[in-house]
Amino acid sequence: MRSYENDAIVVQYDVKRCIHAAECVRGLPTVFNPQRRPWIDTNGADADDIAAVIACCPTGALHYSRNDGGAAEAVPAEHSVTLEPDGPLVLRGHFQITDQAGHVLLEDTRIALCRCGASQNKPLCDGSHHTIGFAAD
C-alpha cells in the first residue's frame, strides 16, 4: 500500500488491486497521471474533488482519509453487483470476503472479483482478463 498526502487528504493506493480501469485518470488527470512519478499528486486538485474521483474506482485500489476534517469515505446505501463485459464482477456496498473457515480476508466498499480465472490475486481481479483476451457478457 502506498500513500500520497497533503494537509487536506491522504490517498492510499494498493497496486495489487488496480486493474487500470483509469476512472481516476479520466476523472482528475491533474492528480492521477501514470506518466509522472510519483503518479499521484495530491496538490493537483481540491481534496473534495480527489475524494469524489476516488469513489469512482471500481476495485478499491484507491481509498482516502481526510486530514482537514472533510467527509470520510461513505459506504454505499445499496449493495450492487455489476457484471462488467469481458471483465470482473464489481461489488459496491459493505462486503466481506471470507475463507472457508470464516476468516475475513478483505472488507471493503468497492471490490472487483476475478471472473476469467487468470488473476494472480484471486479472488480479486488483477486485470489479467485483458492479457488473456477474456470474453464474456
Q: Name the pLDDT band for 137 (thresholds 50, 70, 90).
A: confident
Instruction: Give the residue-averaged pLDDT of 15-29.
Output: 96
Residues 93 and 118 in one domain: yes
Report yes or no: 62 and 15 within 8 Å, Cβ to Cβ. no
**114 lies in a domain?**
yes
pTM of the model: 0.92
CATH number where 18 lies: 3.30.70.20
Domain housing 49: 2-66
> How deeply is 50 buried, as exposed, middle or buried, from its count of CB atoms within 10 A (0-12, 13-18, 19+)?
buried
Residues 109 and 55 in one domain: no
